[in-house]
Chain A
């Protein structure tokens, strides 16, 4: 039962993350805003933190990354969808590694200082790590191949671009911990209809959006 609930949680939070990357991320990208840093620091870190706080289970971030990355592959618009899908999956795995050593009840993160600090670390490492991994794997999967020097010369830019994500992440995690105090609970009989319903809506909207853009 507990595992079923966790799987439903991975599905709904992963779908929400993928949905936000496909729809909001594309809009931010088209508007010329730093979509990657904003998406990671607000939506990715936000949803990953909520799920970790709510379910108090390890492994959920890894699963969410796989679900969100898969959904991103269904939307080949707004930036590089292959790069984004790889980056999202990597981000889930990196978040999992960072938070793995924290206790399940997250008692280390009781004060605002610790919450902001883990927000900075998570947003920065997740964003820069995802960026680096996608710059390795996207060329490997293409006909041009991977060239190490292309990655090395651009590392300072990647380290610099993570600063915005880190600063936003410093606010995201404390805000979510304050929401936790509201103690929102869903009745057991409504849990599966709500989680599965939200997931279906996310996937349907992304697939319809893709179909419309292809048709136009």
Chain B
């Protein structure tokens, strides 16, 4: 028996709910649980990073933190402008940015990364890793 359009609608709805439930379980099971921040393979606390970096304020966004470019320079990375940087949050959200973007970014004490030259979609909360690519 061939299923009509109307009969298929509830079947698709069940499939959609199953996808949503499975994804929720997967996300819950794989969520990272750490307060340390890994930068290029080295782990730091937020206080250590605030000691290493230089303060920066983005007045237009009313945000203060440490400058991402000075942080990368002060951890001893060679040729910072030769790389891209991937900022990764605890929930898996990640954004890759250029060195020019890093010059306009801050890491706040709440472990969020904010850029003055990028849309808000580039804000990453609860940062746990900064990968140097």
Give the docked Cα–Cα distance between A134 and B98 (Å): 20
Main secondary structure of the interface of A (DSSP, over half): helix
Which residue of B10, B118, B122 contacts A114 across the interface (Cβ within 8 Å)?
Answer: B10
Residues from chain B with a CB closer than 8 A to the CB of A108 are 5-6, 9
A144, A157, A159 interface centre (most CB from chain B within 10 Å): A144
Binary per-residue interface labels of chain A (139-156) against chain B in the complex, 1 for a CB within 8 Å, 0 otherwise:
101111101011001101
Residues from chain B with a CB closer than 8 A to the CB of A121 are 9, 12-13, 16
Query: Does A143 lie within 8 Å of B120, measured CB to CB?
Result: no
Interface bracket on A: 35 or more
Query: Does B101 lie within 8 Å of A144, measured CB to CB?
Result: yes
Which residue of A116, A143, A150 contacts B118 across the interface (Cβ within 8 Å)?
Answer: A143
B17, B86, B121, B122 interface centre (most CB from chain A within 10 Å): B121
Query: Does B20 lie within 8 Å of A143, measured CB to CB?
Result: no
Q: Is A88 an interface residue (CB 8 A)?
A: no
Q: Is B38 an interface residue (CB 8 A)?
A: no
Contact (A159, B91) CB under 8 Å given A80-B120, A144-B101, A150-B86: no
Find the B residue at minimum CB distance from A102: B5
Which residue of B13, B24, B96, B121 contacts A116 across the interface (Cβ within 8 Å)?
Answer: B13
Query: Does B23 lie within 8 Å of A163, measured CB to CB?
Result: yes
Residues from chain A with a CB closer than 8 A to the CB of B84 are 147
Q: Is A124 an interface residue (CB 8 A)?
A: yes
Q: Is A26 an interface residue (CB 8 A)?
A: no
Which residue of A80, A143, A145, A160 contacts B117 across the interface (Cβ within 8 Å)?
Answer: A143
Known: A121-B13, A156-B92, A160-B20. 19 other contacts (CB 8 A): A82-B121, A83-B120, A116-B13, A139-B95, A142-B118, A143-B101, A143-B117, A144-B97, A144-B122, A150-B94, A153-B92, A154-B92, A156-B30, A157-B23, A159-B20, A160-B24, A160-B27, A166-B20, A170-B13
